[in-house]
Amino acid sequence: MKIVENYSLQPLNTFGFDVSARYFGQAETVEDLRQAIGFAGEKKLLLIPLGGGSNVVLSDHLEALVLAVDLKGRSVVSQQNDQMLVQCRAGENWHEFVLWTLDNEAYGLENLSLIPGNVGAAPIQNIGAYGVEIKDVFHSLEALDIATGELRTFDRDDCQFGYRDSVFKNSLKDRFIITSVTFELSSVLEPKLGYGHLQNAVQKKAAGQSLTAKMISDVVCEIRSQKLPDPAVIGNAGSFFKNPVVPASVVDRLKQEFPDLVCFPFEGEWKLAAGWLIDQAGLKGFTMGQVGTYAKQALVLVNHGEGTPRELVALADHIRSTVLARFGVELEMEPRVY
């Protein structure tokens, strides 16, 4: 594997920030990963695995070895009755993988269409949309132990999935590099249409025809495209903040002052719509230098062209403090800041 110095990461982060790394490598095999771990250890450098660059905020210059995890391959591992085990290596693009599963009549990921990033990052974040999360369709994953260079298999319980959370963001943070993920899908479509606007749009799309997973995927893509900017056009990382989960007492308090509060039940508590909070705080379409919130969706932070990571972090801090002052609710960032 070739490792190069002073490498521009501008095309490798969806914010499009003009940042660079002291060293950069592209790993296409597990042996490449092991070589990179050894190199970083010898140089006493931080090792930063990079997937699609869609859930990170990178500093101006990283004194680190940034490693593009580019392991490729996808296959149907087994099929028994309706159950299908489908494996995908970490470097595959997530949306392209979703479309591949639909082409192979393996259903369950259609609600997660058009989420940016690569497959290897999906379990770390427990990505989710429209009533489906990774944990709902997850079977296992394989990951490389950075300390030992050994491969280890994790099942669903091992991953300790939570809302946009997993063990890889907590006790095992920075200790493993995910190499492949196996999903438990079905050859029989079981539509998940619990979100009213999704159900209405899907019914309109079907228009009396037999419902297909491709129809659901197409509708999800249409909705996301209307709400979220294309990173190729305007730099962004999708939803920047998690929807806060709060007890009922907080919802009761907020509804007294804000009767139109957007919230919904979630595992015995309530989930607030972070985008609504930011919008109501007067920050939708707000700009700070060359960064800002997206005019159509306050939950998305954007780079207007010449923005810097420092400006973006300052904007995020301003949004968090403003929302806290107005609602008494803490916002938590989704992307990782390096």
Closest by CA to 273, choosing from 258, 287, 288, is 258
- Mark whether 164 is an active-site residue: yes
Q: How many angstroms separate the CA atoms of 38 and 43, rounded?
A: 9
Single out the catalytic residue among 54, 140, 166, 239.
239
- Mark whether 334 is an active-site residue: yes
Single out the catalytic residue among 20, 92, 164, 180.
164
Kindly tell me the sign of the dihedral angle through the C-alpha atoms of 12, 303, 275, 174.
Answer: positive
Residue type, 194: G
The answer to whether the beta carbons of residues 165 and 156 sit under 8 Å apart is: no
β-strand partners of 3: 25
* Structure tokens belonging to residue 167: 């063990």
Closest by CA to 76, choosing from 41, 102, 101, 98, is 101
Q: How many angstroms separate the CA atoms of 320 and 73, rounded?
A: 40
From residue 76, alpha-carbon distances to 105, 186, 262 in Å are: 10, 11, 40
Residue type, 173: K
Kindly tell me the sign of the dihedral angle through the C-alpha atoms of 209, 100, 334, 173.
Answer: positive
Q: How many angstroms separate the CA atoms of 268 and 324, rounded?
A: 23
- Mark whether 239 is an active-site residue: yes
Q: Which residues are catalytic?
A: 164, 239, 334
